[in-house]
Amino acid sequence: MRPMNPTSYLLVALGGAAGRMGRAWVGIAAARLFGMGFPWGTMIVNILGSAVIGVFAATALSPSRTILSPELRIFLMVGFCGGFTTFSSFSLQTFELLRDGRAGAALANIVVSVCVCIAAAAAGYLATAALVPR
């Protein structure tokens, strides 16, 4: 990865702020819809963020279908997706489920979050790659 210029840092900061706002909104909405007994908001954010970064990767990282400028790639992939996804929150919440004696819920959180996020990233990438001509 090339060193970033001052504009790139600003783009990461702005994208990160937008991603963090989106993460907060999804977390609040999920808590209202599903309650606080399981980290639904974090799981939803990780799945959505994984799918979105797959879409961006398909349009930015493949030389034959690059449609995102380097600046937009930095804003979206590094800034927005980096601010939106919450893997550190996932880790802490899984630990808390384990600590609270809820091993089944912790295992479900691990398996669904990891497996579905990988599938979402692949689906986002493959769907976009199929739609954007080489």
pLDDT digits (tens, 9 = 90+) for 13-58: 999 999 999 999 999 999 999 999 999 999 999 999 999 988 888 8
Q: Residue 134: what pLDDT?
A: 74
Q: Residue 89: what pLDDT?
A: 83
pTM comes to: 0.78
Query: Do residues 48 and 26 touch, judged by C-beta distance below 8 A?
Result: yes
User: Which pLDDT band, with edges at 50, 70 and 90, does 119 fall under?
Assistant: very high
In the chain, domain spans = 6-129
Q: Which of 27, 16, 15 is nearest to 93 (CA)?
A: 27
